[in-house]
Amino acid sequence: MDDPEELDPVSAAALVGAVAGATQTTALTVLERGEGHEKMWQAMRRAINIALHGLGK
């Protein structure tokens, strides 16, 4: 892996798992709290951002 922009298969799987887990858990949490679908989509977008960039963004 010479190109720093490319992910190896293990790193790619970790990234997919992080995004999938973040969105699923966020959606379930928002819906369990009865906050509605619009809030769920907003929260899922934030979860994806956190999974990809961390909490500092």
Tens of pLDDT, residues 2-56:
676 788 999 999 999 999 999 999 999 999 999 999 999 999 999 999 998 998 8
Which is it for the CA torsion 29, 48, 57, 2, positive or negative? positive
How are the residues of the chain apportioned to helix, strand and coil, as percentages rounded to the nearest 5? 70, 0, 30
Q: Are 15 and 7 in contact (CB under 8 A)?
A: yes
* Cα 11 to the center of its chain, rounded Å: 15
Single-letter amino acid, residue 14: A
Q: Does the structure show a pLDDT above 70 at 1? A: no
